[in-house]
Amino acid sequence: MMHIPRTMFAAAIDRFGGPKAITGHALPVPPLDVDEVMIAVDTAGVGPWDAEACLQSPVKPRGER
């Protein structure tokens, strides 16, 4: 059986502003249900919509012009 950690690291936008508005947090790992799996993620990308959210710009759904 695989070891499931108690905490995970998450980057969150806590307030509006520049890149410093994105901060790291240690959060509890949510419990898994019987029909769920856990996937270990080492690295995740940042999309342009993340910067728009930080700057309080309206985020348009994909494909909308």
**Per-residue pLDDT tens for 4-42?**
889 999 888 888 887 788 889 999 999 989 999 989 888
Dihedral over Cα of 48, 51, 53, 59: its sign? negative
**What is the predicted pLDDT for the residue at 18?**
79
Residue 21 Rama label (left phi>0; alpha psi -120 to 50; beta): alpha
Q: Which residue has the higher pLDDT, 61 or 28?
A: 28
**What is the predicted pLDDT for the residue at 51?**
74
CB 24, CB 9: distance < 8 Å:
yes
| C-alpha separations of 21 from 4, 13, 44 in Å | 29, 6, 18
The Cα–Cα gap between 56 and 47 comes to 15
- Note the pTM of the prediction, 2 decimals: 0.58
